[in-house]
Chains A and B, each alone.
Chain A
């Protein structure tokens, strides 16, 4: 569930009174939308998102379908590919992509009507169960004998983001020297660590929540100042092709509601609605100017 401490709730209320009004300016608040759900029964909505969000969206879509009687036609794949399609002749009604610039590009091309911050990714270290190499900090990747797993050729930002993180923390050269697996897919990293081929890898936290991998590794958090530079944010926006803008707005409002955002937190993301999410919204300027 989304964090609900008193301080967080206070911050959230403050935010919703001020910046929240702007954040959801184009979307119908979910509490109002709930009273009108029946009007969307039997209708369908096409939603595309970055593939990394697929598990969270599948869960959220099911909740929305149950509540409204709407059918969500959902596609989840590499955001840059979907974005490229949308900038050409691809059509969808709602798009949730990684990389703020992509949303801005779609806006300036007149393909997207508005967007909101959705959530943020975060990176963690993973080790085989029991953490046999005793990995506690990012500096441990530079220790002689530690077997590091990387996927430099993985689809962006997978490989590149981790290399930037290693560079930022000053362990890149030593970690590269310790690398035993250089894969082309972030999911391969998980299997290489689970089966003990490697002692440690840096991955997006979402990967540790995928059903195939959940509970099969130890997860060692990385502090905020060691997170890689963007692209960390995901946005969600209504496209010009939305057949029923009211339905699209209602759906987006649900995804940005506490119930919708909880699905994203459960899958390892930082929800935009949370205190930490709001901090990142401001810090990274995830706003539809």
Chain B
């Protein structure tokens, strides 16, 4: 892939990610640090926290309704192109010494953690009616509100939030750990990997040299488990065997 085309793709993706950060960044931040509910982003229509942008009903419903459509069209592209948490993970991955790209039992089974997280979130939401685990700090100063939320949250909320933060922090050591093995939204979008309409895929030119896997922060190959359709792999292929389009048209 020509260098110019590669840098254009990266610039385009970073621009999209920047825009999505502006749109969803605050909401994501509140979800981790200040959402009083067991599963964030699901009760925005009745959340008492005034200053969170998730209270904008159109954004709240628009987001969740658009995810399956995005999933069907582009698989986990939201993770690679739109998710603020994904952007944070990708930036952390740049310094992470361990890429977790080899073939071993951990890399084979750990990604199933996403589905466990998804199942847990669904049970909390649909069976337990997404209980409120923290005192909502309706409005307040940035650090003060976070401090108060943690101070008055119950144990379950603390476990939930500290687990997310621990996984994100671990991303500085193990590349994209949260996105790969723990994110329930990632687990949901992963379900669309097979019926996906458009994605990066390998052509018959591929000789399985795994150069793409080495270039991938998610430690995967095009159209395989955990591929977020970011396109970083395309320029790494020495045989130009990675294309974007209908995988079944190869």
Interface residue ranges, A against B (CB under 8 Å) = 51, 54-55, 58, 73-78, 81-82, 84-85, 155, 183-185, 187-188, 190-191, 212
CA distance A143 to B43 in the complex (A): 31
A75 and B139 within 8 A (CB): yes
B46 CB within 8 Å of chain A = yes
Decide if B144 is an interface residue (CB 8 Å cutoff).
yes
Contacts of B48 in A (CB 8 A): 51, 185, 187
Given A51-B136, A184-B132, A190-B46, A78 and B152 contact (CB-CB distance below 8 Å): yes
Give the residue name and chain of the B residue nearest to A92 (CB). B144
Tell me whether A81 and B46 are in contact in the complex, defined as CB-CB below 8 angstroms, given that A51-B138, A75-B145, A76-B139 are known contacts. no
Q: Which chain B residue has the least Cβ–Cβ distance from A154?
A: B132
Given contacts A82-B148, A84-B152, contact A185 B46 (CB under 8 A): yes
Q: Chain B interface secondary structure, helix, strand, loop or mixed?
A: mixed
Distance in angstroms from A158 CB to nearest chain B CB is 11
A84–B144 Cα gap in the complex (Å)?
15
Contact among A75, A155, A190 for B148, CB-based, below 8 A? A75
Q: Shortest distance in angstroms between B141's beta carbon and chain A's nearest beta carbon? A: 6
Q: Are A73 and B135 in contact (CB under 8 A)?
A: no
A54 x B50 contact (CB < 8 A): yes
Nearest Cβ in chain A — how far from B34, in angstroms?
10
CB proximity of B57 to chain A, nearest CB, Å: 8
Contact A185 B132 (CB under 8 A): yes
Any A CB within 8 A of the CB of B151: yes
Contact: A75 with B144, CB < 8 Å? yes
Nearest-neighbour CB distance to chain A for B1, whole angstroms, equals 49
Since A58-B50, A76-B137, A81-B148 are in contact, a sample of 15 more A-B pairs with Cβ atoms closer than 8 Å, ordered by chain A residue number, is A54-B50, A55-B50, A73-B141, A74-B140, A77-B136, A77-B138, A77-B145, A81-B135, A85-B148, A85-B151, A155-B135, A184-B131, A184-B132, A185-B48, A212-B55
Within 8 A of A (CB), among B122-137: 129, 131-132, 135-137
- The answer to whether A58 and B139 have CB atoms under 8 Å apart is yes
B152 touches A81 (CB 8 A): yes
Instruction: Check A75–B136 contact: CB distance below 8 A.
Output: no
Across chains A and B, the number of contacting residue pairs, with CB separation under 8 Å, is 63
| Interface hub of A51, A73, A155 (most chain B Cβ within 10 A) | A51
Q: Which residues of B contact A (CB under 8 A)?
A: 43, 45-48, 50, 55, 129, 131-132, 135-141, 144-145, 148, 151-152
Nearest chain A CB to B148 CB, angstrom units: 6
Given the interface pairs A85-B148, A184-B131, the reply to whether A54 lies near B138 with Cβ below 8 Å is: yes
Q: Is the CB of A188 within 8 A of B46?
A: yes
For B129, B141, B148, which residue has the most chain A Cβ atoms within 10 angstroms?
A: B148
Closest Cβ neighbor of B149 among chain A residues: A77
Measured between beta carbons, the chain A residues less than 8 angstroms from B50 are 54-55, 58, 76
Min Cβ gap A207→B in Å is: 10
Residue of B nearest to A212 (CB): B55
Give the 8 A-B CB pairs with smallest separation, nearest first: A75-B140, A51-B138, A81-B152, A187-B46, A77-B137, A76-B138, A54-B138, A81-B135
Q: Which of A78, A183, A184 has the most CB of B within 10 A?
A: A78
Min CB–CB distance A284 → chain B (angstroms): 25
Report chain B residues within 8 Å CB of A185: 46, 48, 132
Min CB distance B155 to A, Å, is: 15
Please report the C-alpha to C-alpha distance between residue A51 and residue B136 in the assembled complex, in whole angstroms: 8
| Closest residue on chain B to residue A89 by CB atoms | B151
Chain B residues whose C-beta falls within 8 Å of the C-beta of A58 in the assembled complex: 50, 139
Cα A87 to Cα B140 in complex, Å, equals 19
Residues of B close to A188: CB separation below 8 A? 43, 46
Q: Are A75 and B131 in contact (CB under 8 A)?
A: no
List, in ascending order, chain B residues with CB within 8 A of A212's CB: 45, 55
* Residue of chain B at shortest CB distance from A58: B139
Distance (whole angstroms) from the CB of A138 to the closest CB of chain B: 24
A76 touches B140 (CB 8 A): yes
| A188–B43 alpha-carbon span in the complex (Å) | 9
A55–B51 CA distance with the chains assembled, in angstroms? 11
CB pair B139–A54 under 8 Å, yes or no, is yes
What residues of A have a CB within 8 angstroms of the CB of B43 in the complex?
188
| A74 in contact with B139 given A184-B131, A212-B55 (CB within 8 Å) | yes
- Which residues of chain A are within 8 angstroms of B132 by Cβ–Cβ distance? 184-185
What residue of chain B has the Cβ atom nearest to residue A53's Cβ?
A: B138
Contacts of B136 in A (CB 8 A): 51, 77-78
- Complex alpha-carbon distance, A187 and B46, angstroms: 5
Bound: A75/B137 CA distance, A: 7
Which residues of the other chain, B, contact A54 by a CB distance below 8 angstroms? 50, 138-139
